[in-house]
Structure 1
């Protein structure tokens, strides 16, 4: 365990985080302020001014007014603004990383890496801003001769609902392509993680983004519901859980607006005997424990051929035991706290229930070591946990734990491996470990997942589309597909 003292935020650093509407930070809202708790310490970070329906109305009205000018702006100028956002974000990676660690407890090394990665998304979509093109379509010269072509156009005002477990990363995945496509955005930032997104808002304004183009509203479910239902919001992009997504779809039906959903996952790493077992175990455990397991596309199931099952279980238990849990500001820490006491207690309950039918071979408890500094002892830490012999039909094997819990399950054949990998309601990702190229060709088409990695993950580059099958949502973020989610196509025909 590390013993580096977690620094306390200063008033100047956090202030009173509130809504950014039309370029102005409001110091009073219709809802009022709440305290934000640091999950690593249990102490108050600062106050958050929450937004309500009134703030949503004001932001949407300002975005609607700003949209004609933003849409008409030279694509080259939009490109330069987004490039400048990338440049400033890279300069402020230390700020963004520190704020992310303070608000969600992610290890500082991870928080800084995510901020750096997000900056790259703005650079990537800056490159698309002046390359949005339509197609010509052939006409029938005998019936009606003429010229047909398509014009991709922005929706107008896009409502963006960010997730608390990676808010800065989500700004790149959602805001960057929406702006590059010519939309204005109203962003509901999470009340559990408002500070880094607020800092991003300051960076965007400094980069020259016109004040009415982006608005940031920290808030809870009421603000999100009003944003979805608002008749002047043309599209919604949401990342989060299935229950909230169902509520969003129900609210969106009143205005029939499109909704992009990036939801949960239960990614399986599928390991065959011919794989590099050391690499497969190390990468799977590292993935599962990233952000204390609080991520949608982390490898939380380890499906292992029975011939090497016992060996892999032992290796996974050893790898989990070697994970460094502690102060997220320490450079050696790789696993910080979960987001709060309710999450910690829920995760421990899942582990206890799973232990009735399987084996806990590593972890399984809350961590409150006396060796840690006093301010860290109030945090919400869970040991990296490995469960072996897990029933594939059990709750822990089929649904998200959203905690540092890895399920290990044996299989005997390729068909069984695929069946197990596809046996959950989710379809976000899968990882296949094998040296057999023909097996790769056989199995990859059979995985019901939006992303399939072979012998290791890609790190989610901005150029690659990301999204899910089944209950993991619909739509894509990243790549050309992610840009065109924020565009609608107009068909034009000019008669000869």
Structure 2
């Protein structure tokens, strides 16, 4: 497994035009999950560096808004062009960041798509006017930027969050201080460099890899107008408490325990392939969109299970940098131990029957990395901790249901509501079930396909707010009412 494309010198924070390698926090040794060995040293931000980034962002935001709408629109399009030229590089860095197979790592293309989409909003009318009751006054409703926004990305999706948040934030007129996880900073740092190469004002997007201390400083900074946080519920509660000191508004996109419903009339071959990839295979199940609860109608349970397990068995496990690899490692040794513990507890509680997997992979070169077998438990109790708690690993549950009503009840019976999946050939059923599911997104006869045109976000404990579409743009705008007396 080759990671020798990375620099031997420390990777620095990107603030303005500076790459800062000496900070108030020690260097972080980045571990490549495919080998379990260090592959880069990365500078981390503390409170001092966050303050520097916010100061640079304030200056850059004023310079950004001093440009005409045509100039800002064109610069975002120029950035999309630059990103397109470097898609392969960003995909490889994504793989080196957290071990996602290169076959799945091309989500850098989302940055290009979101930039092109939101560039189109820059020069469009975003305000409105309204008559005022009992008056001839002119009443305007304007939408303005917050100024400087903080974006906190998880280790499993820095490029996705860059697409979904940075593009609309810049289009709305903001500057962004972007904090990728210390576990996966490489692709985000390169994206920040591409912003400079495309001609964006220095400091308009600062990249500040940081651990908990840097994130806390960002959330508490009085110069931040809004925070967008993607991650887990436990950390989100800490973010909300920290932001409360300055009453800083916070948008959250949190975890999930997505239900994937397989009805008896579904195309079972297609459903098996989609369910395997949306479940344990893609990103080794380390995704908020992981369909970890697979609800299968009694009439096709055995048939579907056989085909589903066959897809998993045929998937190549190996070096994430190899294009043929379909399943890679989990992020760290600690994550591996935690996920194995989830399986052990489920078996001890007799929550379900182990159908495949359940162990660490210890053969050959994979033994040095953080590899776990794709794991499937059958006939799982829908009320068990396995079926209720987000695992964030390559572990899925097969759960039986008898009719549409029971399927909806089980699907909705968790604290989460980010994604749901439905497989059926019956259009009436698809519409009916989708409307009953308590989920921000419902994907019918397909996997999760986030696009710039569609709003994405959660119900219940899966978060608040949206990315994508007009709703996603408005998350980065605040509303002002201007009234001109005409009497």
> TM-score per shorter chain, which class?
over 0.9
Q: Which residue of 2 aligns with 1:221?
A: 212
Alignment of 1:69 with 2:60, yes or no, is no
Residues 208-260 of structure 1: per-residue CA shift (max 9 Å, x gap): 01002111111100011111011111100010000000000001111111111
CA–CA distance in 1 between the matches of 2:448 and 2:370?
Answer: 30
Q: Secondary structure at the match of 2:124?
A: coil
Alignment of 1:50 with 2:44, yes or no, is yes
Post-superposition offset of 1:322: 1.6
Post-superposition offset of 1:67: 2.1
Alignment of 1:27 with 2:21, yes or no, is yes
What are the within-5 Å matches in structure 2 for residues 233-248 of structure 1? 233-248=224-239
Q: Which residue of 2 aligns with 1:369?
A: 363
Q: Report the CA distance shift for 1:31/1:130 in structure 2 as closer, same or farther (over 3 A).
A: same
CA–CA distance in 2 between the matches of 1:116 and 1:456?
Answer: 19
CA–CA distance in 2 between the matches of 1:48 and 1:132?
Answer: 42
Alignment of 1:378 with 2:361, yes or no, is no
Are 1:323 and 1:384, in contact at CA under 8 Å, matched by a contact in 2? no
Q: Which residue of 2 aligns with 1:122?
A: 115
Q: Which residue of 1 aligns with 2:87?
A: 93
Q: Secondary structure at the match of 1:465?
A: coil
Q: Which residue of 1 aligns with 2:423?
A: 433
CA–CA distance in 2 between the matches of 1:365 and 1:188?
Answer: 34
CA–CA distance in 1 between the matches of 2:6 and 2:115?
Answer: 29
What are the within-5 Å matches in structure 2 for residues 78-477 of structure 1? 78-111=72-105, 113-140=106-133, 143-288=134-279, 289-356=281-348, 357=350, 358-370=352-364, 372=365, 376-457=366-447, 459-477=449-467
Are 1:118 and 1:168, in contact at CA under 8 Å, matched by a contact in 2? yes
Residues 311-370 of structure 1: per-residue CA shift (max 9 Å, x gap): 222222222212211111111101110001111111111112222321111111111212
Q: Report the CA distance shift for 1:478/1:202 in structure 2 as closer, same or farther (over 3 A).
A: same
Are 1:154 and 1:488, in contact at CA under 8 Å, matched by a contact in 2? yes
Are 2:63 and 2:201, in contact at CA under 8 Å, matched by a contact in 1? no
CA–CA distance in 2 between the matches of 1:413 and 1:383?
Answer: 32
Q: Secondary structure at the match of 1:99?
A: helix
Instruction: Identify the range of structure 1 (312-321 vs 231-240) with the bigger mean alpha-carbon deviation.
Output: 312-321
Q: Which residue of 2 aligns with 1:7?
A: 2
Q: TM-score, normalised by structure 2?
A: 0.97
CA–CA distance in 1 between the matches of 2:384 and 2:4?
Answer: 42
CA–CA distance in 2 between the matches of 1:9 and 1:75?
Answer: 42
Q: Which residue of 2 aligns with 1:490?
A: 480
Q: Which runs of 5+ in 1 are unaligned?
A: 1-5
Aligned residues: 483
Are 1:354 and 1:390, in contact at CA under 8 Å, matched by a contact in 2? no
Post-superposition offset of 1:11: 5.1
Are 1:426 and 1:469, in contact at CA under 8 Å, matched by a contact in 2? yes
Are 1:285 and 1:406, in contact at CA under 8 Å, matched by a contact in 2? no
Post-superposition offset of 1:94: 1.6
Post-superposition offset of 1:132: 4.5
Q: Which runs of 5+ in 2 are unaligned?
A: none
CA–CA distance in 1 between the matches of 2:30 and 2:439?
Answer: 36
